Chain A
Amino acid sequence: MMYDLKEHVIKFLQRGLRVDGRKPLEYRDISIETGITKNAEGSARVKIGETELIVGVKMEVGSPYPDTPAEGTIIVGAELLPLSSPEFEAGPPDIQAIELARVVDRGIRESRAVSFKKLCIEPGKKIWMCVIDVVTVNDAGNLFDAAALGAMAALKTARFPEYDGEKVNYKKLTDKGLPIEEEPISVTVLKIGEHFIVDPSTEEEKVYDARLTVAIMSNGDLCALQKGGDAAVTEEEISQMIGIAVDKSKELRKHLSAI
Chain B
Amino acid sequence: MESKLLIQDKEIAVPGEILAEGMDFVPGPGTYRIGETIVASRLGLVQVDGRALKLIPMSGKYMPKRDDTIIGQVVDILFSGWRVDINSAYPGMLNIKDATSDFVSKGADLTQYYTFGDYIVTKITNVTSQKLVDLSMRGPGLKKLKGGRIISVNPSKVPRIIGKQGSMVSLIKEATYSRITVGQNGLIWIDGEPENELVAIEAIRKIENEAHLAGLTEKVKEFLDANKSRIKEVEMKPEEPEEQPERFERFDRERPRYGDRPRYNDRPPRREGDRPFNRRRFS
Query: Which residues from chain A sit less than 8 Å from chain B, CB to CB?
Result: 1-5, 7-8, 11-12, 15, 17, 19, 21
Instruction: Give chain A residues whose Cβ lies under 8 Å from the Cβ of B25.
Output: none
CB distance B194 to A1 under 8 Å? no
User: A104 to nearest B CB, angstroms?
Assistant: 31
Q: B195: CB under 8 A from chain A?
A: yes
Please report the C-alpha to C-alpha distance between residue A101 and residue B216 in the assembled complex, in whole angstroms: 47
Q: B228: CB under 8 A from chain A?
A: no
B73, B118, B148, B198: which contacts A21 (Cβ < 8 A)? B198
Which B186-218 residues sit within 8 Å CB-CB of chain A? 194-195, 198, 202
Instruction: Give chain B residues whose Cβ lies under 8 Å from the Cβ of A2.
Output: 117
User: B147 to nearest A CB, angstroms?
Assistant: 6
CB distance A12 to B117 under 8 Å? no
What band does the interface of chain B fall in when counting residues whose beta carbon is under 8 Å from A? 10 to 19
Q: B119: CB under 8 A from chain A?
A: yes
Q: Which residue among A1, A3, A12, A21 has the maximum number of chain B CB atoms within 10 Å of its CB?
A: A1
Please report the C-alpha to C-alpha distance between residue A7 and residue B191 in the assembled complex, in whole angstroms: 12
CB distance A5 to B149 under 8 Å? yes
Instruction: Give chain A residues whose Cβ lies under 8 Å from the Cβ of B149.
Output: 4-5, 8, 19
* A/B interface sample: 11 pairs, CB < 8 A: A2-B117, A3-B117, A4-B117, A5-B149, A8-B147, A8-B148, A12-B194, A15-B194, A15-B195, A19-B149, A21-B202
Which B104-125 residues sit within 8 Å CB-CB of chain A? 117-119
Instruction: Give chain A residues whose Cβ lies under 8 Å from the Cβ of B195.
Output: 15, 17
Instruction: Give chain A residues whose Cβ lies under 8 Å from the Cβ of B147.
Output: 4, 7-8
Instruction: Give chain B residues whose Cβ lies under 8 Å from the Cβ of A11.
Output: 194
Please report the C-alpha to C-alpha distance between residue A11 and residue B118 in the assembled complex, in whole angstroms: 19
Can you name the residue of chain A whose Cβ is closest to the Cβ of B115?
A: A1
Instruction: Give chain A residues whose Cβ lies under 8 Å from the Cβ of B202.
Output: 21
Instruction: Give chain B residues whose Cβ lies under 8 Å from the Cβ of A19.
Output: 149
Instruction: Give chain B residues whose Cβ lies under 8 Å from the Cβ of A5.
Output: 149
Chain B residues touching A, majority SS? mixed
CB distance A17 to B198 under 8 Å? yes
Can you name the residue of chain A whose Cβ is closest to the Cβ of B149?
A: A8
CB distance B198 to A1 under 8 Å? no
Please report the C-alpha to C-alpha distance between residue A4 and residue B144 in the assembled complex, in whole angstroms: 13
Instruction: Give chain B residues whose Cβ lies under 8 Å from the Cβ of A21.
Output: 198, 202
A3, A4, A17: which contacts B194 (Cβ < 8 A)? A17
User: A229 to nearest B CB, angstroms?
Assistant: 20
User: A26 to nearest B CB, angstroms?
Assistant: 14
Instruction: Give chain A residues whose Cβ lies under 8 Å from the Cβ of B117.
Output: 1-4
Please report the C-alpha to C-alpha distance between residue A105 and residue B147 in the assembled complex, in whole angstroms: 41
Q: Which residue among B73, B119, B148 has the maximum number of chain A CB atoms within 10 Å of its CB?
A: B148
Q: Which residue among B73, B117, B119, B146 has the maximum number of chain A CB atoms within 10 Å of its CB?
A: B117
Can you name the residue of chain A whose Cβ is closest to the Cβ of B146?
A: A4
Please report the C-alpha to C-alpha distance between residue A19 and residue B201 in the assembled complex, in whole angstroms: 10
Please report the C-alpha to C-alpha distance between residue A3 and residue B73 in the assembled complex, in whole angstroms: 13
User: A34 to nearest B CB, angstroms?
Assistant: 31
Please report the C-alpha to C-alpha distance between residue A8 and residue B149 in the assembled complex, in whole angstroms: 7
User: B134 to nearest A CB, angstroms?
Assistant: 22
CB distance A1 to B148 under 8 Å? no
Please report the C-alpha to C-alpha distance between residue A48 and residue B243 in the assembled complex, in whole angstroms: 41
**Apart from A4-B146, A17-B198, A19-B149: 7 A-B pairs, beta carbons within 8 A:** A1-B119, A3-B117, A4-B147, A4-B148, A4-B149, A17-B194, A17-B195
User: B196 to nearest A CB, angstroms?
Assistant: 11
Please report the C-alpha to C-alpha distance between residue A12 and residue B193 in the assembled complex, in whole angstroms: 8
User: B262 to nearest A CB, angstroms?
Assistant: 30
User: B17 to nearest A CB, angstroms?
Assistant: 27
Instruction: Give chain A residues whose Cβ lies under 8 Å from the Cβ of B146.
Output: 4
Please report the C-alpha to C-alpha distance between residue A8 and residue B195 in the assembled complex, in whole angstroms: 13
Smallest CB-CB A-B distances: 9 pairs: A1-B117, A12-B194, A15-B194, A21-B198, A8-B149, A17-B194, A1-B73, A1-B119, A5-B149
Please report the C-alpha to C-alpha distance between residue A21 and residue B201 in the assembled complex, in whole angstroms: 10
Please report the C-alpha to C-alpha distance between residue A89 and residue B183 in the assembled complex, in whole angstroms: 29
User: A7 to nearest B CB, angstroms?
Assistant: 7
